Structure 1
Amino acid sequence: MDITKLRLFCNLASSLHFGRAANASHVSPSTLSRNIKQLEDDLGVSLFVRDNRSVILTHEGEQFLGFAKEVIQQWETYQESLLAQADQLRGQLSIYCSVTASYSFLYEILTEFRVKHPGIAIKLHTGDPAQSIERILAGDEDIAIAAKPDKLPTGISFKPINSSPLIFITANNEDWQGKNWEEIPVIIPEEGLARERLNIWFDSLGIKPNIYAEVKGNEAIVSMVSLGFGVGVAPQIVVDNSPLANKVKRFDPQPDLGPYDTGLCVMEKRLKSPIVAAFWTQLQ
């Protein structure tokens, strides 16, 4: 099995666009198309349905994607182990976290890591923390900074960094005294731990919330709340580190939604990689 073809296949499966996948792979679209066709011929199945406008994974393509990612990871782990034996870790480490986590936690971790391992390139992606564990399970990232779910998925290891309460916030000039939750517009995350905790809390009180907006990312919730669109829920650490912290205040009374534990997460099998293990073991 040709690792180069597998990487081209994964890039196309990710972007579903020949032009973007070719650019990301540093090859021409014709080279990409030829390699995908050769891979399909080798397998005897079609991996993509494609026309002039779209590219879609077939059922066989979706199944093969998991296999391809696994083979690539095993190959990279083997290469890293050879370099580790030569006492020179080199390669790439993919990390996913929220914007807040990138400067609240990651800066200090990476500063020390880069001194110890200058030959390792860091590939950093930022986004909604609710997607962190999903991206680890899908094999899209090596390491993620994530909120610990109430039940960790099988095969995931978690190492805590920080614990912060989930708090209700509102704009400084808003006063919801005397209003009930059916009247108060609420801004909630689309998914993730905070959304799960909110759903449980509202259900326990028999409340049907007046949802004004469902938002991706805690930083976006703070922004919308500061503009006076309603009451939102976010981790205390996100609020404290937001440039809009002085434009919002804690909502009173403050319901208890439990702690928001943040830490590193990784697939246990990825710890066989010397690069991933080096990053993981650095955090005590």
Structure 2
Amino acid sequence: MDLQQMRYVLAVAETSSFTRAAERCHIVQSALSHQVARLEKELGARLFERTSRRVRLTTAGEAFLPAARQALEAAERARAEVAAATGEIRGRLTVGSIPTVAAVDLPAVLRDYRTRHPQVRIRLRAGSSERLVEQVRDGTLDAAFLGVQPGFRLQGVRDKALAQGRHVAVVAPDHPLAAEQEVDLGLLAEEVFVDFADGSAARAQSDQAFAAAGLRREVAFEVSGVELMVRMVRHGLGIALLPAAFTGELHGLRCVPITDGPMRTEHLVWGRSTPSPAASAFLALLGVEVPLS
């Protein structure tokens, strides 16, 4: 058994195709199939069920995959550690972020990082705050940028608070509230809202503010992304509450301050275990110093 065979198995599992796996691994399909068959013979079990229509993992394959991933990650980490010992940062950096991050200019940070460490492969993933915390905790992400209500418990990760600010009401330019200099939650409670999914950290910020004020509101539209939310507001389907620091990115909409509006704290989070050299360099760029070992 060798690492290359594990890479082939992982590629087949992720693409559900020997043909696409071979293309990804830059090898002819017959050679890839031969290596997977050799590994199956050594293990004494089939890893894949093959039919003319599909390829899928067997029970043995599902059991093999997590350990194979760990072995490949360990090998990559070992190479990165050796490179770091000679003064070169290399390997892989996977960062997560909410779409509305505003405390840092993330594209600029990633540009600076790539300039300093061109040998690192960077991946960026977007998601909800609660999902990003899970991915940092299980090691899928090296670090993530979140936006949560004050007092939100960040369990199983390390964190650094970056900024705190209020939400504003985002309305279409021809909306009656567009002419107001500021509003309060009592006035907003009469409106129809476009918001994030019920139960999400992004939604909780607004829900808790209205509940604390003893008010009820109507959320007629639930969306998973801020882009769709903004488009719906622009078409007059409702209003939205978004962090004031983020709304500078919006055009063609009116952002009205809220006297008693929801608060949001942005955090940088990373795992409790020792970060890789690539992750340590990223954290250091953001003012977080962590030991390499």
1:211 corresponding residue in structure 2: 220
Question: TM-score scaled by structure 1?
Answer: 0.75
| Residue range with higher mean Cα deviation, 220-229 or 11-20 | 11-20
* 8 Å Cα contact 2:247/2:255 also seen in 1: no
Q: Deviations over 1:114-147 (max 9, x none)?
A: 44333x2342334334443344345443333333
Q: Are residue 136 (structure 1) and residue 140 (structure 2) matched? A: no
Q: Are residue 151 (structure 1) and residue 145 (structure 2) matched? A: no
* 8 Å Cα contact 1:157/1:268 also seen in 2: yes
Amino acid at match of 1:68: A
* 8 Å Cα contact 2:147/2:266 also seen in 1: yes
In 2, Cα distance between equivalents of 1:203 and 1:56: 48
- Equivalent position SS for 1:234: strand
1:124 corresponding residue in structure 2: 123
Aligned partner (choices 266, 279, 284) of residue 270 of structure 2: 266
Q: Are residue 235 (structure 1) and residue 243 (structure 2) matched? A: yes
1:82 corresponding residue in structure 2: 82
Deviation of residue 23 (structure 1)? Answer: 3.4
Deviation of residue 82 (structure 1)? Answer: 1.0
2:290 corresponding residue in structure 1: none
* 8 Å Cα contact 2:101/2:266 also seen in 1: no
* 8 Å Cα contact 1:113/1:282 also seen in 2: yes
Structure 1, gaps ≥5 residues long: none
| Residue range with higher mean Cα deviation, 20-29 or 187-196 | 20-29
In 2, Cα distance between equivalents of 1:202 and 1:57: 48
In 1, Cα distance between equivalents of 2:30 and 2:139: 27
Percent of pairs identical after alignment? 24
* 8 Å Cα contact 2:98/2:126 also seen in 1: yes
Q: Are residue 221 (structure 1) and residue 229 (structure 2) matched? A: yes
* 8 Å Cα contact 1:163/1:259 also seen in 2: yes
1:173 corresponding residue in structure 2: 174
- Structure 1 residues 52 and 211, CA, compared in 2 at 3 Å: closer, same or farther? farther
- Quick check: which one's helix share is greater? 1
Question: For the aligned residues, what is the CA RMSD?
Answer: 3.7
Amino acid at match of 2:277: P
In 2, Cα distance between equivalents of 1:60 and 1:165: 51
Deviation of residue 57 (structure 1)? Answer: 4.8
Task: Within 5 Å, give how 1:16-35 maps onto structure 2.
Answer: 16-35=16-35
Q: Are residue 188 (structure 1) and residue 195 (structure 2) matched? A: yes
* 8 Å Cα contact 1:80/1:89 also seen in 2: yes
1:248 corresponding residue in structure 2: 254
Q: Deviations over 1:154-175 (max 9, x none)?
A: 1x22233333334442222223
Q: Deviations over 1:206-226 (max 9, x none)?
A: 7473422x2222333223212
* 8 Å Cα contact 2:80/2:89 also seen in 1: yes
- Structure 1 residues 53 and 108, CA, compared in 2 at 3 Å: closer, same or farther? same
Deviation of residue 230 (structure 1)? Answer: 0.9
Query: What is the aligned residue count?
Result: 275
1:73 corresponding residue in structure 2: 73
| Residue range with higher mean Cα deviation, 68-77 or 274-283 | 68-77
* 8 Å Cα contact 1:127/1:217 also seen in 2: no
- Equivalent position SS for 2:245: helix
Structure 2, gaps ≥5 residues long: 178-182, 288-293
State the 4+ residue runs in structure 1 displaced beyond 6 angstroms.
176-180
Q: Deviations over 1:141-200 (max 9, x none)?
A: 33333335712231x22233333334442222223799885x743222236421233454
Deviation of residue 275 (structure 1)? Answer: 1.7
1:97 corresponding residue in structure 2: 97
Question: TM-score scaled by structure 2?
Answer: 0.73
* 8 Å Cα contact 2:103/2:163 also seen in 1: no
In 2, Cα distance between equivalents of 1:102 and 1:6: 40
In 2, Cα distance between equivalents of 1:184 and 1:49: 55
- Structure 1 residues 113 and 208, CA, compared in 2 at 3 Å: closer, same or farther? closer
- Structure 1 residues 192 and 262, CA, compared in 2 at 3 Å: closer, same or farther? farther
